[in-house]
């Protein structure tokens, strides 16, 4: 039989992938990272080409895994403004994962990642919260009510007995609509609040996934013992980094540049030398301890782990082969 490449549309993906599966795949990938020789990442982590006059940016991330043997590229193309700001979450943006078999170098699949992107982004930080947030966390604060805000809440609801959720976003109508829909879907009170202070105060877990270029989370609003998950470009003020008891990341600073907002905090002295040594995989795999006390304030910074994108796309490929989903492309 001639080799075929499986193409999976976003509609195909939505039929197969849910948040519990995304959480399980992300956790398995963190455990896989305990063997550093198994993972080969593109250096730098992301390759970018942009034209701000036309308002477009290409972004490419690559990785290879040896177990299972798998290679993948994550390709995104999206609109940016004259300052270079743009998140790429829009439905009309270009988002694909391309998988290859390293043994033959032949392509396996092309997978639309509009759904997998937001699930993977939040799943990694939700898995970190599983090990680092207080187990009795009941109140969550969600900043940003787009795809990542939704999947963050769905992920946390799988892992914790949430009793109350507060949400904040730039537009009142968006956060109110989100609160109404998620309250109905989850059967728990989800309240739209009108300030970043309100969404942070009394929250056991704060999750932020926004395109903001200016920080909006302040230390004085965060209670002792809070877990803060940062998935955007610039969400926490420098004093949040300075005050936290532990700061964890999902990238390797030995081979990857710090994201710009972390580098600014380092340059400002808010993150001292030797503080960026703990990675999420070390906690998940038991190489470093999880939460050590109820009062620990823990901050996690995520830039996204490409092997998790690949692992989710590969699982979708396997499911599609078994279920007959997707379009078969001749090769």
The predicted-structure confidence for 135-170, as pLDDT tens digits, reads as follows 999 999 999 999 999 999 999 999 999 999 999 999
Residues 195 and 257 occupy one common structural domain:
yes
Is the Cβ–Cβ distance between 27 and 286 less than 8 Å?
A: no
pLDDT over threshold 90, residue 84: no
d(CA 171, CA 255): 38
Residues 95 and 131 occupy one common structural domain:
no
By the 10 Å C-beta count (0-12 exposed, 13-18 middle, 19+ buried), 21 is classed as: middle
Residues 284 and 310 occupy one common structural domain:
no
Domain that holds residue 274: 124-301
Q: What is the mean pLDDT of the chain?
A: 94
Residues 149 and 193 occupy one common structural domain:
yes
User: pLDDT confidence of 277, banded at 50, 70, 90?
Assistant: confident
CATH number (domain holding residue 71)? 3.30.1780.10
Is the Cβ–Cβ distance between 59 and 88 less than 8 Å?
A: yes
Place of tokens 């939460």: 291
d(CA 23, CA 268): 35
Q: pTM here?
A: 0.94
- Structural domain count, the chain: 2
pLDDT over threshold 70, residue 1: no
Residues 85 and 199 occupy one common structural domain:
no
Residues 71 and 131 occupy one common structural domain:
no
pLDDT over threshold 70, residue 253: yes
CATH number (domain holding residue 168)? 3.40.50.720
Residues 105 and 159 occupy one common structural domain:
no
- Summarised one tens digit per residue, pLDDT across range 227-237 is 999 999 899 99
Residues 210 and 111 occupy one common structural domain:
no
d(CA 211, CA 287): 33
Residues 235 and 152 occupy one common structural domain:
yes
Residues 204 and 71 occupy one common structural domain:
no
Residue 321, token pair as written in the block: 């082969």
- Summarised one tens digit per residue, pLDDT across range 164-212 is 999 999 999 999 999 999 999 999 999 999 999 999 999 999 999 998 8
pLDDT over threshold 80, residue 328: yes
* Cβ atoms within 10 Å, residue 196: 19
Is the Cβ–Cβ distance between 219 and 237 less than 8 Å?
A: yes
- Summarised one tens digit per residue, pLDDT across range 3-62 is 899 999 999 999 999 999 999 999 999 999 999 899 998 888 889 999 999 999 999 999
Residues 137 and 167 occupy one common structural domain:
yes
Residues 128 and 268 occupy one common structural domain:
yes
């Amino acid at each position: 039989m001639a080799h075929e490449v499986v193409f999976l549309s976003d509609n195909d993906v939505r039929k197969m992938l849910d948040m519990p599966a995304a959480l399980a795949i992300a956790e398995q990938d963190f455990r896989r990272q305990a063997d550093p020789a198994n993972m080969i990442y593109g250096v730098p982590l992301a390759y970018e080409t942009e034209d701000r006059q036309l308002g477009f940016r290409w972004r490419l991330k690559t990785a290879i895994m040896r177990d299972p043997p798998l290679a993948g590229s994550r390709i995104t193309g999206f609109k940016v403004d004259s300052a270079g700001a743009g998140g790429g979450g829009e439905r009309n943006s270009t988002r694909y994962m391309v998988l290859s078999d390293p043994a033959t170098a032949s392509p396996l699949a092309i997978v639309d990642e509009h759904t997998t992107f937001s699930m993977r982004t939040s799943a990694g930080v939700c898995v970190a919260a599983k090990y680092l947030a207080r187990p009795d966390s009941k109140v969550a604060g969600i900043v940003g009510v787009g795809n990542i805000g939704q999947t963050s809440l769905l992920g946390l609801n799988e892992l914790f007995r949430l009793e109350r959720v507060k949400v904040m976003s730039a537009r009142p109508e968006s956060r109110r609509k989100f609160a109404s829909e998620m309250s109905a879907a989850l059967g728990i009170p989800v309240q739209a609040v009108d300030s970043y202070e309100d969404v942070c105060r009394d929250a056991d877990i704060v999750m932020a996934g926004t395109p903001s270029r200016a920080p909006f989370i302040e230390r004085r609003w965060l209670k002792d013992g809070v877990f803060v998950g940062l998935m955007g470009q610039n969400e926490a003020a420098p004093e949040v980094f300075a005050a936290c008891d532990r700061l964890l990341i999902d990238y390797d600073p030995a081979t990857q540049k710090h994201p710009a907002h972390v580098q600014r905090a380092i340059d400002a002295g808010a993150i001292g030398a030797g503080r960026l040594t703990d990675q999420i995989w070390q906690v998940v795999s038991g190489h470093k301890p999880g939460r050590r006390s109820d009062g620990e304030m823990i901050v996690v910074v995520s830039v996204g782990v490409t092997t998790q994108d690949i692992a989710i796309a590969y699982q979708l490929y396997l499911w599609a082969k078994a279920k007959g989903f997707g379009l078969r492309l001749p090769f």
